Amino acid sequence: MTTRTKRPFIKLDCDVCKQTNYHIATTKGKSIEEKFEIKKFCKKCGKHTLHKMKLK
């Protein structure tokens, strides 16, 4: 049995170094805010930075 669910992925880019650090799978039917910002740990910066959502 093959189950293939196509879910849009949200990319979270570090606002400081612009590196994509996180991918979040969106739940179907769930609306996403156009502007999504969250504080996450950036490996490149070595600290918590503001990450901004990038929706393709």
Which residues in this chain contact Zn ion in the complex, by CB under 5 A? 14, 16-17, 42, 44-45
Are 5 and 44 within 8 A, CB to CB? no
* Residue 17 CB, nearest approach to Zn ion (Å): 3
Contacts of residue 50, Cβ cutoff 8 Å, sequence gap at least 6: 14, 15, 16, 37, 38, 39
Q: Which is nearer to Zn ion, 10 or 21 (CB)?
A: 21
Owner of token pair 């606002």: 15
Q: Which is nearer to Zn ion, 20 or 27 (CB)?
A: 20
Q: Which is nearer to Zn ion, 10 or 45 (CB)?
A: 45
